[in-house]
Structure 1
């Protein structure tokens, strides 16, 4: 039907305080025996001035401000704080929060988000009267308002629904210079940005933010740096040994700054450096009454995920795992080349019928490979099917099949038939990436690789030794962007790059020569917040990225090394 009347919703006009020097000055009812102000705000900053007003007939005033994400109100006279109360918590979460302040008849109150639990009240020792100007977000840099120049700085964020003395402020009138005064504001828009979306903190780092930037808390992640990109643990036991460490338990990060996290291993450094990775079933286990219809199946769970194990195995020069099968009238194969009666499963979930000391796809044990089984007609000692204990024991060393994840036994169901098995820990030695050296004998020598991919974050580390006074270690170019690491002089290394904000350099200078034909370590990292460079054990140097600049490193040529 026809609508004869309607109610207009009040227009909500937000205002953005763009910098710490922004302010909004609004007139108020001067000389009143009560003060009432309310508004809503949103911010990422823990600190900042929300409101200041000088009191009438007094040289004092009151401050409403954020401190550690809480609202505080401070009523003061020169040299004396009359009241200091706190309300709310976690108010710098980027959401809208309401706050109202009431000062009347020797009593001051502040309420946050209209909740009783987020309110505070206090008595004051004198009657106060309202001033004639209310400063929101900050104060003019000129003018004699010393009480407003606080250590916590101006407010950066948004406000709306400002009301003074129960009268709503018309921000459109303020914008048209018909009411109040302001500086460095954006009216009719809340320009706050969520700098944690997308989240550039890696490896589970917790993102927090302020008006200008974001920060990553890397605690308990196993990583460090501005975006939790760089691992705090070495990639292998070999790397720990190179640092001078001795045998013991260490966390290793097998893929470095990749997505896989660190895990605990034992590093045996008594002779060769062995990485020892344990599983949950290390004891000798006896088996009876198992057949094809009711097999004995055992699963092995390691102290690392299969992806972590695969990265460790791929990096190692050699891996092995001892598998012992003890038997009494318990066969592994019914006859040479016949149907297997027991088998094991590896990392890729494939079934294998060769046993310790043998080779893949030959369906033999070590004795069959070497021609020394107790019955020459069989390829495993246990296949002799004797009524006395014997064993087939040896190391599995084909890396692509390791580690053993499952064993299945089916031939212990006959009279006097029994078996026992024992699987040792996964053992790996060597680091294929640690000692993969190359020599560059002429000025035109180089290696080339596919384009370096590190749009948002990347790290490069290597050892070098030289007698040359300068030279490029590596370089990759784009249309405009580039990345380069070079020895610029006998005692200086430069990490230079451009991601669209102009060329930048991070420089490390050494007090001693770097071209002394000794090994020196270089580590360079670049992410959306900073770039860093470290040489040997010299202090790390870094260069901060501009807060709102380009962040993606876009390369398209080959990566040249040397």
Structure 2
């Protein structure tokens, strides 16, 4: 969480504010997909993301070697995660988690590749499976797809290693913080995806309030409006004059405060978004 300033005023750390592309709402529309740079899952590597859904089925992750042998598919099956993959045309290995993920709660998902082994982690649950392959390293040629696959792949089945992925239901829900080897992976392009949790609710913040994604949830910053409440709709705050600071927020002048001029200056300089709480 953020740090607590004077009089309990909370200041948010930069790490709590997510880049706009880090938060994606998947509508579940036919033809939906999100394309990320290729994840070279050949040998020792990992990818992770946070997800929230109430759907019991849906395709989460897919990539392959574009029609030869190797692929990895992660989907929601009956409210739990199911992962299967193959190397060198071996019989696909599959693992199913026990954790229920279609409970409209946030879950952290990590896929770890280690040659023939793949580990699937959901929150604190860890499961792994080994493929019986004559080759130990996975070949990857495709992009990393989340939530569905593009129409051009559906129409040319020869480019799909796992043809059955065409029949999987698109994912419906939210995905944030897609990382490969613990580094943010940037969304290249998408269809049927809203790239900001703040866009999911129309007019979420009233009276000029600004929506930010904090801890994977859209929150209204009412500090520059003079209003308060969840959506900045509660009546104007009275009793304290405000000085607007462009791009920073409002400074509340402490009327009849025993603070010295030096202390007032300290608050002004150190807490540009400071507002007295009490």
Q: 38, 41, 44: which one pairs with 1:34?
A: 44
Match of 2:14 in 1: 8
**Residues in 2 aligned to 1:80 and 1:123: alpha-carbon distance in whole angstroms:** 11
SS at match of 2:56: coil
1:151 aligned onto 2:167: yes
1:129 aligned onto 2:142: no
Q: Which runs of 4+ in 1 moved over 6 A?
A: 190-193
Match of 2:197 in 1: 189
CA offsets per residue over residues 31-64 of structure 1, 9 Å max, x none?
Answer: 7423411001111110000000114895320100
TM-score in terms of structure 1 length:
0.29
Q: How does 1:155-304 map to 2 (within 5 A)?
A: 155-170=171-186, 174=187, 180-189=188-197
Change (3 A) 1:57 1:32: farther
**Residues in 2 aligned to 1:163 and 1:105: alpha-carbon distance in whole angstroms:** 20
Match of 2:276 in 1: none
The unaligned stretches of length 5 or more in structure 2 are 6-11, 202-278
Match of 1:120 in 2: 127
Report the Cα offset of residue 153 of structure 1.
Answer: 1.3
Match of 1:47 in 2: 57
Q: Please state which structure has a larger fraction of its residues in helix.
A: 2
CA offsets per residue over residues 331-375 of structure 1, 9 Å max, x none?
Answer: xxxxxxxxxxxxxxxxxxxxxxxxxxxxxxxxxxxxxxxxxxxxx
Match of 1:93 in 2: 103
Report if the CA contact (8 A) 1:34-1:130 is conserved. no
**Residues in 2 aligned to 1:78 and 1:33: alpha-carbon distance in whole angstroms:** 14
Q: 66, 69, 73: which one pairs with 1:63?
A: 73
SS at match of 1:95: coil
In angstroms, what is the RMSD of aligned CA positions? 2.9
Report if the CA contact (8 A) 1:112-1:119 is conserved. yes
TM-score in terms of structure 2 length:
0.56
Report the Cα offset of residue 17 of structure 1.
Answer: 1.1
**Residues in 1 aligned to 2:41 and 2:109: alpha-carbon distance in whole angstroms:** 23
**Residues in 1 aligned to 2:63 and 2:77: alpha-carbon distance in whole angstroms:** 18
Change (3 A) 1:102 1:55: farther
Report if the CA contact (8 A) 1:27-1:134 is conserved. yes
The unaligned stretches of length 5 or more in structure 1 are 175-179, 194-562
Report the Cα offset of residue 81 of structure 1.
Answer: 3.2
Match of 2:236 in 1: none
- The count of residues paired between Structure 1 and Structure 2 equals 178
SS at match of 2:15: coil
Q: How does 1:527-538 map to 2 (within 5 A)?
A: none
SS at match of 2:118: strand
**Residues in 2 aligned to 1:192 and 1:92: alpha-carbon distance in whole angstroms:** 19
Report the Cα offset of residue 184 of structure 1.
Answer: 1.5
Report if the CA contact (8 A) 1:74-1:81 is conserved. no
Change (3 A) 1:43 1:122: same
Structure label with greater radius of gyration: 1
Change (3 A) 1:165 1:65: same
SS at match of 2:99: coil
**Residues in 2 aligned to 1:130 and 1:100: alpha-carbon distance in whole angstroms:** 20
SS at match of 1:142: helix
